[in-house]
Structure 1
Amino acid sequence: MPEPLLIFALLIAVFVGFNIGGSTTAPAFGPAVGASLVPKVVAGGLMAVFFGLGAATIGRRVVDTLGQQVLHDSSLFTLESSIVILGLIGLALFAGNRTGVPASTSMTTVGAIAGLGVASGELQWATMREIVFWWVVAPIAGFAVSVAIGYFSYQRIADWISESSSNEPLFALDQSGTIPSITVTSSQRDELLAGGVVVAVGCLMAFSSGTSNIANIVAPLIGGGVLDMSAGIVLGSAAVALGALTIARRTIETLGNEIVELPLPAALVASTVSGVIITTLSLLGIPASFVIVATVSIAGLGWSRTLRSDDGSNGRIRAPIGDGGLDPAEARGAIASKNDSSEPELEFDPFESARVLTLQHVIPIVSTVGAYAVFSVAPVY
């Protein structure tokens, strides 16, 4: 019979995965659910499938980095130290929920493991320098790419999505048969394409979350030999799936009240940029923060719209070269009508962006200091 400490460690890992599934499904598929493209249960199912796919493929590299390469001696990941590390990750998720600012689970995990490494004198500084280097480069890259997209292409993306969207569901869950299946309910080509892009971006986010977050759930247990790689990935993916199919329904509803403040095109661009960057870093074995890259991507999009305003364009509607057959008064009326549409404007608040980014970095620092303090006083490794 497994010892109680082992059962406790596994339960904490499941708890972390459960909360990751509940918190990451909403940003991944909130736009698709909010646009009535898929029901919440389908969103949860897609999250479970694509997270597991990312974890089982690229995610192994990140697990190996955290479990084997951050510390010189992976045997430091005892059941006791793993419980402390996973507990700090759980506290980070809780703190993020309480402050309304999503915490960086990956940075918190690395910070906790680094605290163990410093306390024990076994930290691989070369690996930490490489990780921190990419932590600096990734947000800068996300910001720069988002600024470029926002300045040059955002309006065309927004117009295409607006013209191709409808209030009808794109996919539905068919439960008439023995095995439930997903059916396509729309027959319009442009509508299918636009809706498919929204859902595909959600799947990309779920996949990139799997590549990065699986390590935050099971890396200490795998590094310490408590679980092998395959078993750890199955356990972590199952825990995320449970969260995605249960508590994520509520977080999607909560996010639905906030997603109105962020236009759908902006959510898609930020998600795509962040997903590609995080997946690329995972291929390199680098644990990176999706929420921080997404935050700076949204900030980059917002700042690019202020640049368009400065150069004489409000970023939402540009007057045509000709009058399109309308007299000047009618043309002005048409433009004003489009500008007064219900679609929210993408705005940039530098102070709010700075507050969010500051809090997102403070929590991992607290995790590092806390782990160092705990392992210095009680060397349970």
Structure 2
Amino acid sequence: MTSLLLIAGVLVAMFVAYNIGGSTTGPAFGPAVGADAISKPVAAALMGVFFFIGAWTLGRNVVTKLGTELVVNTSVFTLESSIAVLFFIGLALLIGNLFGVPASTSMTAVGAIAGLALAAGVLDFAVMGQIVIWWVVSPIIGFWVSLVIGRYFYARLNRLIAIERSTGSLFDLDRSGVVPIPRVHKTTNRRELVGTVTVVAIGCLMAFASGTSNIANAVAPLVGSGELAMNPAIIFGGIAVAIGSFTIARRTLETMGSGLTELPLTAAIVVASISSTLVVFLSALGIPASFVIIATMSTVGLGWGRATRPRTAPEIVTGNGGPPVTVDALAADKEGETLPPIGAEDVEDIPDPGALFNPVMTARVVLMQNVVPAIATVGAYLTFRFVPISGF
């Protein structure tokens, strides 16, 4: 009977990891895909590789700690209760993925474990409070930093980076030998190549960071119960994440790459840099990083900032009259156009700022990213509070 339960537990853990791959690939590589730097299959492959590296190296420490930080008595993690917790994590993440919205894996997993701990009366409220505070503060920081950059510094930053997409692919495959060798396409310029490598490298860093923290969300309850060893758990989880990246992650890649805002290569670098910096900072503090929320709010902040681009004080003084206006700066960047001075645009030619900031999509994302963890938390609490479970 125990063997059957363990097999069921491994399958449920892989189901959770599968949905982790679906929900975290978008925030990590959505900017690169949205900027046409890499394709979705390449993003999925990179996600699988770097997630596994992060999980195999630093992730095992988080797996060990997740089962002890939120609860004051680890005996609450029986095989049966672990399976139930993983089920609610996977179910909640699946709902977010089906809606094409990347849900926070850390928030969902911590919520489910907190529901279990609260029902058993072993929740450490001090630790939970510290985590929640950072979950609230970090997306706000990402949003406002991105908004300020988009509103006041993006045009100047874009001129410094000056990444313009050329026609055709970045690389060609030289098939003259036995093994195909990728070579830089003849129309690819150096700035474009450097920018592409940068945004993809940041995505790989975010995938690595995801592996260090999110592998615990899939396998920590089983490892904590003592029923599954660490190394097999990481291998099973890594395989399932890769499968999720190649399949269900396609919708979240579209949402993060183009659904929230038009995202050229320069903007992708800004969003990925801010998000990855905050994630690394939170990881250093030992906080389960909700980089899905951080990346989403950074994307929204940058798009909103560009959609409300103002005139500067010198331009007002020099008589570039008319009310403050907006400009489709990201779209201009995407086409390699030169932007007019701030405040000198022809008001009649200014497109709808909704092309830069999609309030409907943003509201949908914010709503689902709060609903999904709530489903896991409430579902786990009610189950362990009112439904008899063997061993609990």
58-67 or 118-127, which moves further after superposition?
A: 58-67
CA-CA distance at 1:307 after TM superposition: 4.8
Letter in 2 for 1:362: V
For structure 1, the residue ranges without an aligned partner over 5 or more in a row are 322-331
For 1:172-251, list aligned pairs within 5 A. Answer: 183-185=183-185, 188-244=189-245, 246-247=246-247, 250-251=250-251
1:70-114 deviation digits (Å, cap 9, x = unpaired): 112223212211111111111112221344433222111111101
Letter in 2 for 1:112: A
Task: State TM-score, norm by structure 2.
Answer: 0.80
> Residue 222 of structure 1 contacts residue 229 of structure 1 at CA under 8 Å; is this kept in 2?
yes
For 1:27-42, list aligned pairs within 5 A. Answer: 27-42=27-42
CA-CA distance at 1:174 after TM superposition: 6.6
1:10-53 deviation digits (Å, cap 9, x = unpaired): 01111221232234334433443454433444322211121122
CA-CA distance at 1:189 after TM superposition: 1.7
SS at match of 1:150: helix
SS at match of 2:286: coil
> Residue 151 of structure 1 contacts residue 308 of structure 1 at CA under 8 Å; is this kept in 2?
yes
1:239-279 deviation digits (Å, cap 9, x = unpaired): 212333x3157447855984594222434322322222123
* Number of matched pairs: 366
Letter in 2 for 1:22: G
Letter in 2 for 1:211: T
After superposition, the Cα gap between the structure-2 partners of 1:23 and 1:123, relative to the gap in structure 1 and judged at 3 Å, is: closer
180-189 or 134-143, which moves further after superposition?
A: 180-189
Aligned counterpart, 1:314? 326
After superposition, the Cα gap between the structure-2 partners of 1:340 and 1:269, relative to the gap in structure 1 and judged at 3 Å, is: same
> Residue 54 of structure 2 contacts residue 211 of structure 2 at CA under 8 Å; is this kept in 1?
yes
**Is 1:111 equivalent to 2:111 in the alignment?**
yes
Which of residues 342, 346, 368 in structure 1 aligns to 2:356? 346
CA-CA distance at 1:116 after TM superposition: 0.8
Using the alignment, how far apart are the partners of 1:277 and 1:69 within structure 2?
Answer: 22
Using the alignment, how far apart are the partners of 1:120 and 1:157 within structure 2?
Answer: 53
Letter in 2 for 1:346: L
SS at match of 1:57: helix
> Residue 62 of structure 1 contacts residue 286 of structure 1 at CA under 8 Å; is this kept in 2?
no
Using the alignment, how far apart are the partners of 2:53 and 2:235 within structure 1?
Answer: 11
> Residue 23 of structure 2 contacts residue 104 of structure 2 at CA under 8 Å; is this kept in 1?
no
SS at match of 2:309: helix
> Residue 37 of structure 1 contacts residue 168 of structure 1 at CA under 8 Å; is this kept in 2?
no
Using the alignment, how far apart are the partners of 2:44 and 2:259 within structure 1?
Answer: 18
CA-CA distance at 1:152 after TM superposition: 3.1
Letter in 2 for 1:361: N
CA-CA distance at 1:160 after TM superposition: 5.7
Letter in 1 for 2:381: Y
Aligned counterpart, 1:329? none
CA-CA distance at 1:123 after TM superposition: 1.2
Aligned counterpart, 1:375? 384
Letter in 2 for 1:219: A
167-176 or 122-131, which moves further after superposition?
A: 167-176
Aligned counterpart, 2:81? 81
After superposition, the Cα gap between the structure-2 partners of 1:173 and 1:38, relative to the gap in structure 1 and judged at 3 Å, is: farther
Aligned counterpart, 1:134? 134
Using the alignment, how far apart are the partners of 2:262 and 2:308 within structure 1?
Answer: 18
SS at match of 1:116: helix
Using the alignment, how far apart are the partners of 1:28 and 1:299 within structure 2?
Answer: 15
Using the alignment, how far apart are the partners of 2:366 and 2:267 within structure 1?
Answer: 18
1:258-303 deviation digits (Å, cap 9, x = unpaired): 4594222434322322222123222322113222212222232234
Using the alignment, how far apart are the partners of 1:298 and 1:70 within structure 2?
Answer: 31
Using the alignment, how far apart are the partners of 2:234 and 2:117 within structure 1?
Answer: 24
Letter in 2 for 1:156: R
After superposition, the Cα gap between the structure-2 partners of 1:273 and 1:35, relative to the gap in structure 1 and judged at 3 Å, is: closer
Using the alignment, how far apart are the partners of 2:223 and 2:180 within structure 1?
Answer: 35
> Residue 256 of structure 2 contacts residue 296 of structure 2 at CA under 8 Å; is this kept in 1?
no
163-172 or 129-138, which moves further after superposition?
A: 163-172
After superposition, the Cα gap between the structure-2 partners of 1:126 and 1:15, relative to the gap in structure 1 and judged at 3 Å, is: same
Letter in 2 for 1:370: G
Aligned counterpart, 2:276? 275
Using the alignment, how far apart are the partners of 1:183 and 1:72 within structure 2?
Answer: 56
Letter in 2 for 1:363: V
User: What is the aligned-residue RMSD (CA, Å)?
Assistant: 3.5
CA-CA distance at 1:195 after TM superposition: 1.6
SS at match of 1:153: helix
Aligned counterpart, 1:120? 120
Using the alignment, how far apart are the partners of 1:355 and 1:256 within structure 2?
Answer: 13
**Is 1:289 equivalent to 2:290 in the alignment?**
yes
Task: State TM-score, norm by structure 1.
Answer: 0.82
Using the alignment, how far apart are the partners of 1:77 and 1:180 within structure 2?
Answer: 50
Letter in 1 for 2:367: T
> Residue 308 of structure 2 contacts residue 326 of structure 2 at CA under 8 Å; is this kept in 1?
no
For structure 2, the residue ranges without an aligned partner over 5 or more in a row are 313-323, 330-338
> Residue 30 of structure 1 contacts residue 259 of structure 1 at CA under 8 Å; is this kept in 2?
no
